[in-house]
Structures are given as structure tokens and as C-alpha cells.
Amino acid sequence: MARLYIDGQWRDSASTGRIQVHNPATEEVVGEVPDSSPEDVDRAVRAAREAFDGWAATPRATRVGHLRALRDALQDNSAELASMITTEVGSPTALATRVQVGLPISALGALIEALDTADEPETIRNSQVYREPAGVVGAITPWNYPLHQALAKIGPALAAGCTVVHKPSEVAPLSADALATIIDGIGLPRGVYNLVHGLGARSGAAITAHPDVDLISFTGSTAAGRKVSVAAAATVKRVALELGGKSANVILADADLPAAVKVGVANCFMNSGQTCTAWTRMLVHASRYDEAVELAVAAAAKYTVGDPTDPATRLGPLVSAAQRDRVMSYVERGRAEGAKEVFGGAAVPDRGYFVPPYVFADVDPFSTIAQEEIFGPVLSIIRFTDEDDAVRIANATPYGLAGGVWSASRDAALAVARRLRTGQVDINGAWFNPGAPFGGFKQSGTGRELGLHGYEEFTELKAVQL
């Protein structure tokens, strides 16, 4: 379509620049979007500002009704959306259907359910405390889960009464066009949702610095998040950041080791490792370390690399040539720093941005591959001596987004989980909950997404004394 969605209409960009979108499995150009100008961003922000008062005054039940319509429309178009995400991101079809599209639909449902029962206002002595919309939201979203990360911001922002200017990643923007088309069909007032494309350094920076944007919700790398925080500080706007991770999967001595390793490898390699919550560090008690390495190698060998539209494929390509080269540079760094490559180097297609899965053993917990976010299918296995040692290693990175703990004793696992400085922990492979708060400690970000807690990020508190 190569256009922008502003003030309820598809519009041409003021910029003549275009950004090509490539299929990472074939390297073919599959579309293009405008490289939006600051003028385009200003038009979108002005439309959102003009729509804000009316939308904020709309009863919350009506706003939630629009979210129900959006959820249902996404469900109706789920097959097409999954195919589009496979084309632009390279996610295997099953993953694109179940996670890339299924998860945001579930998350919207969880948000609607939470809002249906949420009470307001809160009474504190002689005060009535209200949650009011934060204002115009700049939602800047990444390429790895393009639909989910967009809806994790847009859904609660709209429910709270905010208006939105959305800039998706220029690497995988086509699903955002499809989302805007679906939103256009659910009857939102003009200007409530707006879409601009473009490079982060151009259109993203213009959104972040715009004086009429009240809140920035950003998902991306920690390095980019720092830049967003600095730029937003000039106008003292609120910032919510969902950034990188280097999550630990802690396997205690009494754990069900085959299950812990199988699930841990799957978590690390999901979406070809391009997942901020990936358990890229497998921490195993020394008494079971060698067995865990053998199990991890056997599990990794089952991850067939290839065409993401082939049902037999478990690992698709990385999203770009730059991402492929970055991951391979970390593999070389791991070798150079003395980690033992116990699995890797499997054949990959000649064309496309493919990287085979890698497993490293005897990894120094302070080495590069154990400290930095790689964002590819690279697993580091690290031994520990006791629970205190495991907690020290798990917490010894700048990140704190996710993690796992495995033990035959749920109480023992919970005790370790409570000591981990991270935003969420799964015990014995528990399922991800799309209604629970999602976000990180330390350099993994600020604020929370999903469910009622995610909704509250888009509100301001007002106390009225009676």
C-alpha cells in the first residue's frame, strides 16, 4: 500500500523516500513503505491531539466494545495475518499462527476480561482516586513480534482513552498496514489511531521529541531505549520501555531434567532466538551438568532449519542479513573466548538469512555470549554448585526480563524464583499468562504491559478530595 493512515484516512507521505521490505527466507522484495518525514509525524500527532478530548470522554464500556470488535476482526483475519508475518519475519507457519497472531488475540481477550470487572474510582479516606487517560501515545514497536507488540500497546492505550500514533519497525511493517486496515473497519473515530512508517532515527525520533506526545511506549533494544529516554526527557514525557533480556533457565538438582532441557531449548530457539524473553542461559547443577549437555545437543538436533512455509521447519531465517551477521559474530566470539561448541554448523539453505542452532557448554558466566543479548538460536550452558551460586549467576547480567526455575519441589523452585531479579519467572514450564504484567527489571526496561497492569501504564492518577 505504501501509504500512511492518518486522521481516519489513507494518505500519501510528504516524503518521496521508500523503504523496501524483504522476505528473509528468499531475500526477495515483498513490499515497500514510506520513509515518513517529520511533517508526516506532525500531521499524525495533530490528528491524535484533536481526537483526544472526544475519545477520552467516551465511556470506557464503549471503548472496550471497540476492542471486542478488534479482537473478533483479528480472529477473522488470523490466517492472512499469520501468512504475512511468515513472509516479513520468517516465523514458521505454526509459530506465526499460534504465537504471532494467537497471542495478541488472547492478550486482547484478557484485557477485555480484566476491564469488565475493574472498579473505579478508588476511595482513600476522603479522596476519590480516578484513572484518567495519559494523553497522546507514541507507540514504537519492533519487528520480532510485530502484531503482538503493537497490540500490547494499542489495545490498553485505546481502552484507557488515549489516542495513538503508531510507528512499526521498518524491517517488518506490512502487518502494521494490515492492522490499520482492520482498525479502520471497526468504526473508531477519526484520529484515534494513526500509523506512520519510517526509520527510527527519523520518524521514531520525531515522535519521541514531539511536544504534543504525552507518553512514549517503546519496545526494542536496550541501546535504542536509552536514546528514547534521553530524547523524551526534553519534554518530560512519560516513557515505558520493554527492552532486551538475557534470561536464565535455572535447573535445580532434583528437577525433571529431560523436561527442563527440552522446554529450555524450545524457549531459547523460539522464533529463531529472536525473542527478548528467550532463556539463552541454561544453568544446571554440577551433579547433572554432563547429562544436561547431552540432552540439549539431542534436542537441538531436532530443530530443522529451512523454508518457514514448510510444516517440517522448526527454525526459519533471521529477519535480515545484518541480524544474521550479528549472530554469527557472537558465535565466533564464543569460540574465541573458550566456550565449547557442542552443537552447531548444520547445513542451511543457500539463499536467505539462515543461522543453524548452536549450543555452547563450559561457558564462563561472565563471557560475552553469557552477558550480551545475541537475538539468535544460541544457547549457553553454565554449571552451578548450589542455589546461592545459581542465583548469583542468574542475576549477574544488566538484564532482568524473564527466566525459568525447575525443581521437584514447587516450594523450592518458588523460593529461587523470588530471588531472581527479573520481571517474570516460569516454574516447571508453566504457561505464559497474557493477562499478567509483563516487563523487566534493570536494563530490561520500565513499566509493564498486558492485562490490567498494562492498562494502568496509559493512565494518570487524579485524587479528588471530598
**Catalytic residue selected from 162, 170, 268, 276:** 276
192 vs 33: CA distance, rounded Å? 22
**Catalytic residue selected from 88, 242, 387, 449:** 242
Which of 141, 173, 134 has its CA nearest to residue 52? 134
Mode of pairing for the β-strands spanning 9-11 and 4-6: antiparallel
Q: For the CA atoms of the chain, what is the radius of gyration?
A: 22
* Residues 454 and 437: beta-carbon distance below 8 Å: yes
Give the three cell numbers for residue 87. Answer: 513472509
Beta bridge partners of 465: 127
Which of 241, 188, 231 has its CA nearest to residue 210? 231
167 vs 12: CA distance, rounded Å? 16
Helix segments in 122-273, DSSP class H: 146-160, 174-184, 205-209, 222-233, 257-269
SS3 call for 352: coil
SS3 call for 441: coil
SS3 call for 214: coil
* Residues 178 and 3: beta-carbon distance below 8 Å: no
Catalytic residue flag (residue 242): yes
* Residues 71 and 234: beta-carbon distance below 8 Å: no
Give the three cell numbers for residue 375. Answer: 537475538
Indicate which residues carry an active-site annotation.
Answer: 242, 276
